C-alpha cells in the first residue's frame, strides 16, 4: 500500500475542492467537507433581517435600513466575533458585535459585547 502513496508535493494544484485533508489531534488523517470548514471561518452571511441580538455567528452581515431597521445604524455592516468556548474555566462565552454605518457623511462605528448571554449597551467609537 505504501508503494501506491503519492507525495504531497506531487499533488495537483486546484482552486476548488469538495474536501480538505488534514490531521486530527491524535495524528490520524481526516477529510473535512469544504462547507463544514468554511462555516467556521469568517465569511459573509447575508443581510440583517431581525433583531441584532440574534446575530451571534462569526462573520459579516449587511445592514440596510430598507430591509430591517436595526436602531443602531442605517446602512453599513455588522461584524460578529464569537468566542464561545475560549474563556477559560467556563466563565463566559464572549461575543463581540461591531456595527459600521457607511452612509456618507455620517460614518460611525458602534460596538457591544455579550458575556454569559447578556448584551452590553452599544458604545460609539470615534476615529480621528
Model pLDDT for residues 87-122, shown as the tens digit of each residue = 666 677 899 999 998 876 667 899 999 987 799 999
List strand residue ranges (DSSP E) for the chain, in order: 19-23, 29-33, 44-47, 59-64, 75-82, 95-101, 108-115, 118-119, 123-125
Residues of the chain with pLDDT under 70: 1-3, 38-40, 87-90, 104-106, 128
Distance CA 48, CA 68 (A): 7
Does the predicted TM-score (pTM) go above 0.75? Answer: no
Amino acid at each position: 500500500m505504501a508503494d501506491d502513496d503519492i507525495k504531497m508535493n506531487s499533488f495537483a494544484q486546484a482552486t476548488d475542492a469538495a474536501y480538505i485533508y488534514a490531521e486530527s489531534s491524535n495524528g490520524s488523517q481526516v477529510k473535512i467537507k469544504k462547507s463544514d470548514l468554511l462555516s467556521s471561518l469568517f465569511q459573509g452571511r447575508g443581510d440583517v433581517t431581525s433583531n441584532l441580538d440574534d446575530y451571534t455567528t462569526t462573520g459579516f452581515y449587511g445592514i440596510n435600513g430598507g430591509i430591517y431597521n436595526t436602531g443602531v445604524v442605517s446602512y453599513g455592516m455588522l461584524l460578529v466575533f464569537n468566542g464561545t468556548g475560549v474563556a477559560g474555566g467556563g466563565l463566559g462565552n464572549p461575543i463581540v458585535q461591531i456595527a459600521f454605518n457607511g452612509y456618507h457623511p455620517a460614518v460611525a462605528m458602534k460596538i457591544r459585547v455579550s458575556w454569559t448571554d447578556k448584551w452590553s449597551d452599544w458604545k460609539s467609537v470615534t476615529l480621528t
